[in-house]
Amino acid sequence: MEVRPGKLVVISGPSGVGKSTILRRLLAALPQLVPSVSATTRPPRSGERDGVDYHFIPLAEFERRRAEGEFLECCRVYGREHWYGTLASEVAPRLAAGKWVVLEIDVEGTLSILERYPDAITIFVEPAHPDQLLQRLQGRGTESAEAMARRLEVARRELLEAHRYRHRVVNDDVDTALAEIERILFAAGLPQAADTTGRSALHTNASS
């Protein structure tokens, strides 16, 4: 039987909006979705694993692979000193196998992806109010005042780009945001999981 190619799902949003929680729960709840692991030149943070959170590679290797056309898109993400990119090898074989592949990338990367994959499902996660970003970043307690101010400035610029996305989801309440994203994906044709358990992202406990 011929496999129907999968689709690309692109999720973006400013730092502090709660994207990583949403993604973790989404991927746990919907096994039909697979993540694309990006490559980056930034060093791993504590707890991050190579090949899981990112492919952590040196700048020289990133540049070589970029020159060899291995990236579907890559850029120095705005406000950051490092390079990030989506490897074709993470995406193309999975799409061909009928998987729905989730990219968590910035706005510039999203626009490049849309040039190649115009039917990618683009979702921008935004806060109900910009002050929420500040509260979440303060809550993490991992940032200096200067780093936080920089992140907020980046976030303000990112929020101005939200209109470029096909779908915008407000993350005031994570369960509501997840339900909205699930609705968007099923409306776009996401198949039900082969081993459907009836669980939804709403019923998966997770914090942060």
For ligand 5GP, the binding residues in 143-162 under the rule CB under 6 A are none
* Residue (of 124, 132, 141, 137) closest to 19 by Cα position: 124
Nearer to ligand 5GP, 70 or 193 (CB): 70
Q: Given the complex with ligand 5GP, which of 43 and 118 has the nearer CB atom?
A: 43
Contact assessment for residue 86 and residue 113, using Cβ atoms and an 8 Å cutoff? yes
Q: Which of 8, 18, 106, 123 binds ligand 5GP (CB under 6 A)?
A: 106
35 near ligand 5GP, judged by CB under 6 A: no
Q: Determine the residue with CB nearest ligand 5GP.
A: 109
Amino acid letter, residue 96: A
Residues 25, 38, 123, 201: which binds ligand 5GP (CB under 6 A)? 38
User: Does residue 42 touch ligand 5GP according to CB under 6 A?
Assistant: yes
Q: Which lies closer to ligand 5GP via its Cβ, residue 1 or residue 160?
A: 160
Minimum CB–partner distance for residue 192 and ligand 5GP (Å): 28
Bridge partners of residue 25, in order along the sequence: none
- For residues 135 and 155, what is the distance between their CA atoms, to the nearest angstrom? 13
d(CA 102, CA 108): 16
Q: Of 161 and 182, which CB lies nearer to ligand 5GP in the complex structure?
A: 161
# of chain residues touching ligand 5GP (CB under 6 A): 15
Binding mask 54-93 for ligand 5GP (x = CB under 6 A): -------------------x-x-x--x---xxx-------
Burial class (CB in 10 A: 0-12, 13-18, 19+), 110: buried
Give the C-alpha separation, 164 to 144, whole Å: 31
Q: Between the CA of residue 104 and those of 3, 48, 196, 198, what are the distances in Å?
A: 25, 16, 25, 26
Dist. CA 95–CA 131, nearest whole Å: 38
Residue with Cβ nearer ligand 5GP (68 or 195)? 68
Chain positions contacting ligand 5GP, by CB under 6 A: 12, 38, 42, 73, 75, 77, 80, 84-86, 104-106, 108-109
